[in-house]
Amino acid sequence: MPDISEYVFLDKNKLDFFVSKLNTRQRVVAPVRKGVKSYAFAEVPSAKDISWKYIPTILPPKKYFMPQYETIQKFDKSKRTWETVVSSEPIVILGVHTCDLAGIEFLNAMMSSAPCDAHYRNRKANITLIGIECLDYCDGSASCAVMKNELPHGGYDLFMTEMKQGFISHVGSDRGRNIASDSRIFTPAKPEHIRELEELRARKKDIFKPEINVSHEELKNLFSQSFESNMWREEMEKRCVSCGNCTNVCPTCYCFDLRDELDLSLTTGERQRVWDSCQNETFAKVASGENFRKKKGLRQRHRYMRKFYYPVEKHGLYGCTGCGRCTRTCMAKISLKETINKLAEEQQNSKEPVLNQ
Amino acid sequence: MNRQVLIDSPYEVKAGMIFQTRKMTEFEKYFQIVLPGSEDLGHEPGQFVMISIPGVGEVPISVSSSPTQKGFFELVVRSAGMVTAALHRLEAGDTVGIRGPYGKGFPYRAMQGSDLLFIGGGCGNIPLRSLIHYALDCRSRYGKIHILVGCKSPEMMLFVDELSTWSERPDINLDQTVDQGGPGWKGKVGLITKLIPPLAIEPEKTFAVVVGPPIMYKFVIQELLKKNIPSGQIILSMERHMKCGVGKCGHCQIGPHYCCQDGPVFTYEEIRYNHEAI
């Protein structure tokens, strides 16, 4: 039985008031519709602008933690000085799916592992996260159940679940407690709310089932034994076009480039951190001309290993949240679920002769 | 939007003053760099720094001086890309940005009491020099010292004066070769791998330290294994594209390893089964 004191209730007719109240203190961003099937986190002056039922946004909320272009240093050539800077402002991200909460948790772990990235840390300290529970699959590209992200596992300040009369909200932090303590908006949760939440979660168990033929626990081993698979040198080599879409939209991809931009005075300028992609041909190329990941297929192998093998070995975390963005955005229609199923099948086939002996 | 000055950013640079420069070959230039207040860099042999020119960019460069050398440190830079070309245009009195040292250097403590076999190819001789100098400055801590040096042609040979001094020392066995000879070259011609079989070494008490281009590792390691040097005593320094130096940007990954943090120095044992290493 969940601890009822950790829950508050938000009546549906108070939603507008809640969003405008949040807006009085800081910028509020939430999913808004951009096209027929596309959504983006953007500023929402009122609750009416929010698309509560949405499939994962084009870009994940990582853009607020680590913007695509970020000034990390200002320099002055004439004075021979460097100043390391961070620009950030308080912001509330409202309506974050559990897959994206998991993505942020992953980024937190990577960026705070020594040495801590102070730029990321400072932005993160200014961000309030309010999650929303998914009651059904976004679409067939998602694989959140096998990645165990169909249910919340923390990493939020407040987590809302839509029910008949309103939203039952779990308080996940002191910051969340401050928001929830506004009695004009939230009321204490009642036992019947908790019951309804439990029924809803029980129904979810029938909806969310492992989407691939490999279990959560077996995924790491599957990949650790798939380095020499034909998948990379043949299929991926032929199909992938190295556009880098998959890494840009990935909630756990954080590879970057550092670039100097001189302004028109040619004296002052800034060093920027810019998103980069391991799928770009020059990503692992050194100045002598040697390219340590020259083949497209091997660059894809690297991407998959960074989701399903390396971070599991090193940090005990999968780098895939199951959001399905890479599949949705792929120009070559490479599907993550199909790739994994094929690898599993390939490995099964290679094992069979041994079993038959 | 609040702009705030950070004091604990891993990307913070110090102003390094170029104290002396010297052209070494057509492509390589030597830099002696002094940090503010002549502060020591505090590096270990085999580590690298990120050096930057504001407005141009930042690159990783191996330190080629030994930590026993106080007050300044030395870099030897090959002009290969945009930043290194710009570095070549700088002279004494110019300022560069320095951060680091970064990475895991050579295991110079574990090597104490052992014989050392240094094998350097081309640019690889630059980081190797930091350890050679360290071993020579602490000569009594190490056993026999063999140094094998190779490069493409005689005019590309680095540290020629030092090599000639070392070749005269009775406590150093030095051998050199070039891939292609040239006018005035009286030494050996051929690949560096050829210098390994004739060596008289005791494999169990020898550490082989190999630094060179990727192709060299493949063949040199085979020769060292034939000599029965244990794979944990074959030390390699790997080159990769690096942007951050602190294990974040992803460019330098060799399989699960970040070359900038877990390396650049690895034992052959550590990376022999890594699909992306050699």
**Residue at a domain's end among B47, B72, B101:** B101
Percent of chain A past pLDDT 70, that is, above it, reads: 98
Are B251 and A314 within 8 A, CB to CB? no
Same domain, B213 and B257: yes
Supply the pLDDT for residue A354: 53
Q: Which amino acid is at A191?
A: P
Chain B residue numbers touching A256 (CB-CB < 8 A): 243-244, 248-250
From the candidates A64, A66, A84, which should be mutated to test the interface with B, based on the most B CB atoms within 10 A? A84
More confident residue, A350 or B206: B206
Residue A263 CA: distances (Å) to CA of A268, A271, B54, B87, B98? 6, 11, 11, 20, 22
Confidence check: pLDDT of A355 > 60: no
| Residue among A86, A286, A293 minimizing CB distance to B239 | A286
Q: Does A274 touch chain B (CB under 8 A)?
A: no
Phi, psi of A271 (to 5 degrees): -95, 125
Interface probe for B, chosen from A82, A253, A285 (most Cβ of B below 10 Å), is A82
Same domain, yes or no, for B68 and B18?
Answer: yes
Same domain? For B79 and B138 the reply is: no
Residue B25's pLDDT is 95
In the predicted structure, residue A356 carries a pLDDT above the cut 60: no
- The CATH number of the domain holding residue B60 is 2.40.30.10
Residue B86 included in any domain: yes
Of the candidates A4, A172, A18, A193, the one whose C-alpha atom is nearest the C-alpha of residue A94 is A18
Mutate one of B27, B95, B218, B253 to test the A interface: name it (highest A CB count within 10 A): B253
List C-alpha distances in Å: A295 to A230, A238, A279, B179, B249.
13, 10, 10, 29, 20
Pairwise CB contact (< 8 Å): A122 & B241: no
Domain with B132 in it: 115-271
In a domain, B7, yes or no: no
Q: A-chain residues within 8 Å CB-CB of B59?
A: 287
pLDDT higher than 70, residue A67:
yes
Whether the predicted pLDDT of A240 surpasses 50: yes
> Which pLDDT score is estimated for B1?
73
Chain B residues inside the 8 Å CB shell of A305: 255-256
Q: Which pLDDT does position A352 carry in this prediction?
A: 64
- Assigned domain for B140 exists: yes
Q: Are residues B87 and B133 in the same domain?
A: no
pLDDT of the residue at B218? 94
Of residues B56, B95, B252, nearest to A80 (C-beta): B95
User: Residues A15-36: what's their mean pLDDT?
Assistant: 95
Last-in-domain residue among B101, B133, B148: B101
In percent, how much of chain A has pLDDT > 90? 92
A119: contact with B, CB 8 A cutoff: yes
Residues of chain B contacting residue A260, judged by C-beta atoms under 8 Å apart: 52, 54-58
Across the A:B interface, residue pairs with CB atoms under 8 Å apart total 145
φ/ψ (deg, to 5) at B169? -75, 135
Same domain, B97 and B184: no
SS (H, E, C) chain A: CCCHHHEEEEEHHHHHHHHHHHHHHCEEEEEEECCCCCEEEEECCCHHHCCCCCCCCCCCCHHHHCCCEEEEEEEECCCCEEEEEEEECCEEEEEECHHHHHHHHHHHHHHHCCCCCHHHHHHHHCEEEEEECCCCCCCCCCCCCCCCCCCCCCCCCEEEEECCCEEEEEECCHHHHHHHCCCCCEEECCHHHHHHHHHHHHHHHHHCCCCCCCCHHHHHHHHHCCCCCHHHHHHHHHHCCCCCHHHHHCCCCCCEEEEEEECCCCCEEEEEEEECCCCCCCCCECCCCCECCCCHHHHHHHHHHHHHCHHHHHHCCCCCCCCCHHHHHCCCCCCHHHHHHHHHHHHHHHHHHHHHC
Q: Can you give the pLDDT at residue A357?
A: 44
- Enumerate the residues of chain A whose CB falls inside 8 A of the CB of residue B256: 305, 309-310, 313-314
Residue with tokens 């141009």: B56
Residues B187 and B242 in one domain: yes
Q: Are strands B257-258 and B253-254 parallel, antiparallel or unpaired?
A: antiparallel
Matching residue, tokens 């203190």: A25
Whether residues B222 and B127 share a domain: the answer is yes
B125 and B258 inside one domain: yes
Query: Which of B73, B101, B129 is the last residue in one of the domains?
Result: B101
- List, for residues B28-80, the tens digit of each pLDDT value: 999 999 999 999 999 999 999 999 999 999 999 999 999 999 999 999 999 99
Q: Per residue in A286-341, pLDDT tens?
A: 998 999 999 999 999 999 999 999 999 999 999 999 999 999 999 999 999 999 99
Q: Establish if B1 belongs to a structural domain.
A: no
Convert the pLDDT of each residue in A211-236 to its tens digit: 999 999 999 999 999 999 999 999 99
Residue B135 in any domain: the answer is yes
Same domain as B151, residue B83: no
Shared domain for B40 and B124, answered yes or no, is no
Predicted confidence (pLDDT) per residue in A162-206, tens digit: 999 999 999 999 999 999 998 899 999 999 999 999 999 999 999
Q: B241 in a domain, yes or no?
A: yes
Q: Specify whether B130 is located in the same domain as B34.
A: no
B197 DSSP 8-state letter: T
Query: Does residue B9 form part of some domain?
Result: no
Residue B8's pLDDT is 87
CATH code for the domain of B120? 3.40.50.80
Would residue B76 count as lying in a domain?
A: yes
- Do A158 and A133 form a contact (C-beta atoms < 8 A)? no
B157 and B236 part of one domain? yes
Q: How many domains does chain B have?
A: 2
Q: State the complex-level ipTM.
A: 0.93
3-state secondary structure of B198: coil
Query: pLDDT below 70 — which residues of chain B?
Result: none
Confidence (pLDDT) at B3: 80
Residue A248: the pLDDT is: 97
**Where does the pLDDT of residue A353 fall: very low under 50, low under 70, confident under 90, or very high at 90 and above?**
low
Taking only residues 99 to 118 of chain A, the set having a beta carbon closer than 8 angstroms to any beta carbon of chain B reads 110-111, 113, 115-118
CB contact (8 A) between residue A72 and residue B11: yes
